[in-house]
Amino acid sequence: MSTGREIRLIEEDDGWWSAIDEETGVASQGETREQALENLDEAVALTEEARDDDTSAPEPDAPWLNS
């Protein structure tokens, strides 16, 4: 069954795999293609959950940002 997502898979020089969801811009990696895709699914779900969250982001508490 197709999800209709466009995903780019890249085998890195070190043998690991990177997976990038083109629509969301979310990326992940794994030792195998399957792990990279599983990790990508989890990362996309967490990203969508965070984007849908109605709470506002806290104000930064870093004095160097005020300069």
pLDDT in tens, 3-62: 688 999 999 999 999 999 999 999 999 999 999 999 999 999 999 888 887 666 666 676
pLDDT at position 51 is 83
43 inside domain:
yes
Model pTM above 0.75 = no
The verdict on residue 64 lying in a domain is no
Is pLDDT above 70 for 2? no
11-to-8, 25, 30, 43 alpha-carbon distances in Å: 10, 18, 10, 19
Distance of alpha carbon 59 from alpha carbon 54, whole angstroms: 15
Total domains in the chain come to 1
Answer yes or no: is 14 within a domain. yes
Domain ranges, residue 5: 1-49
